[in-house]
Chain A
Amino acid sequence: MQKKLVTIALAATLSLTATAAYADTLADVKAKGYVQCGVTGGVAGFSAPDADNNWSGLEVDYCRAVAAAIFNDADAVRYTPLTSTERFAALSSGEIDILSRTTTWTMSRDTTLGINFAGTMFYDGQGFMVRKADGIDSALDLSGAAVCIESGTTTELNAADFFAANGLEYDPIVFVDQDEVVKAFEDGRCDVYTTDSSALASERTKFAVPDDYKILPEIISKEPLGPSVRQGDDTWFNIARWVYFALLNAEELGITQANVDEMLGSDNPSIKRILGVEGDFGTPLGLDKSWAYNIIKHVGNYGEIYERHVGPNTPIGLDRGINALWTQGGIQYAPPIR
């Protein structure tokens, strides 16, 4: 026990010095020639190996965007698949430069773990799935429903809160394992299945006839998923944050992977600024002035990334919903580049 305590204390001390010594992540990254990016071991649409054995997904594309901004090469990324338990330690020990691994931005994580969240790549939240045949259109119609839930999760608590807050009766049917929950729902043991909406969408694709099921529009909890970096390196944090903002701004200005070269000749001052035609917004970040151009050229804008990996035309088939730009009824909003 004594030994363990000493080890932990030692580790804590060293992690502090490590954080300080890693203060110049950008120089470090430039020196080694690639961005080390922490991802999940496989969550469809977010980061998973594709048919050609390459990493692909929404969160993978964020890492590619960072690499494109720094190196003008979206492939200058190395991926470290991480479990949820080791992800923060991997980031603070300097093993990875950016953590982009379906991580919910919460206050305790932001303030106590020595990390900073750069933005919200995906606003997730708990939702409900029902059988189409039941004719339910809103979660408020669910009074008296049997609800399949995974036990011991925030999902269970969120559902209890939701039904209590709306004065609805419900009958929770609880299982220990996600697969059991899905099976029970498929077998008709309950009317509703609830978990994070992105997971609902990917589970739906596994049913024999996915079209028999639908996901209700209500989202009852906040799960903002975003990339994070080590605290104490503001230059690197700025890059992480503005890469995300550049993706959003590009979509807002209508700059896509396809038309970015054409847009170089645009008269719109906002477009001129983001593409580096006018002014230099790269140097303050420690990057080239065409940093945002490189991102869009190699990876595309936020909307394109979304459509490519989780949008309605993918097997996951998630509508933009609250992940639409603020101009289109969503809450994705970026400060201007000027």
Chain B
Amino acid sequence: MVVQSFNYVRTEMEAEAPAPGTSVGFVGWMRKNLFSTPGNSLLTVLGVLLLVWAVPPLYNFLIGKAVFIAENGETCRVEGAGACWAFIWARINFFIYGFYPMEEQWRVNICFVLGIILIVPLLWLDLPGKVLNAILFFVIYPIVAFILLNGGIFGLQSVPTENWGGLTVTLIIGITGIVVSLPIGIVLALGRQSNLPVIKTLSIMFIELWRAVPLITVLFMASVMLPLFVPTGMTVDKLLRALVGVSLFSAAYLAEVVRGGLQALPRGQYEAASAMGLNYWKSMLLIILPQALKHVIPGIVNSFIALFKDTSLVSIVGIFDLLQTVQSSSSDLKWAGPHQAITGYIFAAMVFWIFCFSMSRYSIFTERRLDTGHKR
């Protein structure tokens, strides 16, 4: 008997047919992402129209018709001219250093360079020597920077803080605020959870008081009212007052952010720490805080970014931060023109954006880096 083999079943795979032309490549991508439903199609069309409507004028204003090189405002006043970048270039020195004497500006530059040299390895998580680095940045650097900027000793010409200004002051307030407010915030958050009534009450009072008043009020009180309280003849430096105000204000917010992290930890973590015989500080430093802080990195960075942008509020108490230098330069008659002020504001916005966006990216990096699978 001959065994007949009937190949009813394919023994090898048929080659894949190409996908329909409408679902691959550019057309497919468009159909999937832009025109999947009538509603999405409508939104896409509207979006494109919006871009067509908005982008060319923006491009023309910012780049196409903008004036990049000019001797004075004359060129920027031409009919149809766009942003007056030449004005920014001409006043950039003022935007960075404020009223800092020109021949002494190398001191500010040294501070900038030192700051970068110290802060980059600190943020670079893989590099060793963090303790030394931290001591240098948090303890030595502020002292050196203050001596350099303020002068008055070692033969350096004295430059009072009234003359500090521009981006320098924005960075001083921003960085000091961030560095000072985080530890205070953590202590306050722990204090608020304390079992000791005095510490708990004081922490709650501090946090609720500072969170309940607007920053402008704080700055205004510090700048206008404080001199009335202190003994006559004793003046506290205006910049220092703003620094203290901004730091304490921000600390109250951070305290609540950190408290959120502390409460997110399961009870078992606290109990486990106690069971291991760790005392309060050790259990906090070794077990609780590392986990709690990791959870709230986005919230902390959020506060930092808000703080950095809030530094521009110090201009209302007459401190020449970046925004205030831009504002007062916009009355510079040499560059008078229809777009003088708006160009200045765009410039300030870009500078703020660069700093805030960098902070945001760094926070995402640390989050990923520290992720141990607890992401919820």
Q: Report the stretch among B33-41, B138-146, B176-184, B322-330 that lies at the interface.
A: B322-330
Q: Which residues of A sit under 8 angstroms from B71, Cβ to Cβ?
A: none
Number of chain B residues whose Cβ lies closer than 8 Å to a Cβ of chain A: 45
Q: Do B331 and A48 touch across chains, with their CB atoms under 8 A apart?
A: yes
Q: Do A53 and B99 touch across chains, with their CB atoms under 8 A apart?
A: yes
Knowing A14-B228, A93-B227, A208-B79, say if A53 contacts B333 (CB, 8 Å). Answer: no
Q: Write out, one digit per residue, whether chain A residues 36-51 have a CB within 8 A of any chain B CB (1) or not (0).
A: 0000011111001101
Q: Which residues of B sit under 8 angstroms from A83, Cβ to Cβ?
A: 316-318
Q: Do A90 and B331 touch across chains, with their CB atoms under 8 A apart?
A: no
Q: Do A22 and B102 touch across chains, with their CB atoms under 8 A apart?
A: no
Cβ of B322 to closest chain A Cβ, rounded Å: 13
The answer to whether A143 has its CB under 8 Å from any CB of chain B is no
The answer to whether A316 has its CB under 8 Å from any CB of chain B is yes
Q: Do B338 and A42 touch across chains, with their CB atoms under 8 A apart?
A: no
Q: Write out, one digit per residue, whether chain A residues 313-334 have a CB within 8 A of any chain B CB (1) or not (0).
A: 0111000000000000000000
Q: Do A42 and B328 touch across chains, with their CB atoms under 8 A apart?
A: yes
Q: Which residues of B sit under 8 angstroms from A221, Cβ to Cβ?
A: none
Q: Do A52 and B333 touch across chains, with their CB atoms under 8 A apart?
A: no
Q: Chain A interface: which size bin? A: 35 or more
Q: State which of A48, A86, A208 has its C-beta within 8 Å of the C-beta of B332.
A: A48
The answer to whether B220 has its CB under 8 Å from any CB of chain A is yes
The answer to whether A80 has its CB under 8 Å from any CB of chain B is yes
Q: Report the stretch among A114-122, A199-207, A263-271, A296-304 that lies at the interface.
A: A199-207
Q: State which of B225, B316, B329 has its C-beta within 8 Å of the C-beta of A49.
A: B329
Q: Which residues of B sit under 8 angstroms from A11, Cβ to Cβ?
A: 225, 228-229
The residue on A at minimum CB distance from B90 is: A51
Residues facing B in A155-180 (CB within 8 A) are 179
Residues facing A in B321-376 (CB within 8 A) are 324-325, 327-334, 336-338, 340-341
Knowing A15-B228, A53-B97, A208-B338, say if A80 contacts B324 (CB, 8 Å). Answer: no
Q: Which residues of A sit under 8 angstroms from B340, Cβ to Cβ?
A: 206
Q: Which residues of B sit under 8 angstroms from A41, Cβ to Cβ?
A: 315, 318, 324, 327-328
Q: Do B331 and A44 touch across chains, with their CB atoms under 8 A apart?
A: yes
Q: Which residues of A sit under 8 angstroms from B97, Cβ to Cβ?
A: 53
Q: Which residues of A sit under 8 angstroms from B320, Cβ to Cβ?
A: 81
Q: Do B228 and A93 touch across chains, with their CB atoms under 8 A apart?
A: yes
Q: Which residues of B sit under 8 angstroms from A112, Cβ to Cβ?
A: none
The residue on A at minimum CB distance from B72 is: A315
Q: Which residues of B sit under 8 angstroms from A131, Cβ to Cβ?
A: none
Q: Which residues of A sit under 8 angstroms from B238, Cβ to Cβ?
A: 80, 95
Question: Which of A11, A28, A45 counts the most chain B CB atoms within 10 A?
Answer: A11
Q: Which residues of A sit under 8 angstroms from B94, Cβ to Cβ?
A: 49, 53
The answer to whether A82 has its CB under 8 Å from any CB of chain B is yes
Q: Do B232 and A94 touch across chains, with their CB atoms under 8 A apart?
A: yes
Q: Do B329 and A205 touch across chains, with their CB atoms under 8 A apart?
A: no
Q: Do A45 and B333 touch across chains, with their CB atoms under 8 A apart?
A: yes
Q: How far is the CA of A10 from the CA of B327 in the complex (A)?
A: 35
The answer to whether A213 has its CB under 8 Å from any CB of chain B is no
Cβ of A3 to closest chain B Cβ, rounded Å: 10
Q: Do A86 and B331 touch across chains, with their CB atoms under 8 A apart?
A: no
Knowing A18-B232, A54-B99, A208-B79, say if A86 contacts B227 (CB, 8 Å). Answer: no
Residues facing B in A1-53 (CB within 8 A) are 7, 10-11, 14-15, 17-18, 21-22, 28, 41-45, 48-49, 51-53
Question: Which of B228, B238, B334 counts the most chain A CB atoms within 10 A?
Answer: B228
Q: Which residues of B sit under 8 angstroms from A308, Cβ to Cβ?
A: none
Cβ of A188 to closest chain B Cβ, rounded Å: 14
Q: State which of B162, B220, B227, B341 has its C-beta within 8 Å of the C-beta of A94.
A: B227
Knowing A78-B162, A81-B318, say if A202 contacts B224 (CB, 8 Å). Answer: no
Q: Which residues of B sit under 8 angstroms from A54, Cβ to Cβ?
A: 99
Q: Which residues of B sit under 8 angstroms from A14, Cβ to Cβ?
A: 228-229
Q: How far is the CA of A86 from the CA of B235 in the complex (A)?
A: 17
The answer to whether B47 has its CB under 8 Å from any CB of chain A is no
Cβ of B347 to closest chain A Cβ, rounded Å: 16
Q: Show the binding face of B for A, using Cβ within 8 Å.
A: 73, 77-79, 90, 93-94, 97-100, 102, 160, 162, 220, 223-225, 227-229, 232-233, 235, 238, 315-318, 320, 324-325, 327-334, 336-338, 340-341
Can you list 25 residue pairs at the A/B interface with Cβ under 8 Å?
A: A18-B232, A21-B232, A21-B233, A41-B315, A41-B327, A42-B330, A44-B336, A49-B94, A49-B99, A53-B94, A53-B98, A53-B99, A79-B162, A80-B162, A82-B318, A83-B317, A86-B223, A86-B318, A93-B227, A95-B227, A95-B238, A207-B77, A207-B338, A208-B79, A316-B333
Q: A42-B328, A44-B336, A51-B90 are in contact. List 15 more A-B contacts (CB 8 A).
A: A7-B225, A10-B229, A44-B331, A44-B332, A51-B332, A53-B93, A86-B223, A90-B223, A90-B224, A93-B227, A205-B336, A206-B77, A208-B77, A208-B338, A209-B77
3 residue pairs, one from A and one from B, having the closest CB atoms: A42-B328, A315-B333, A21-B232
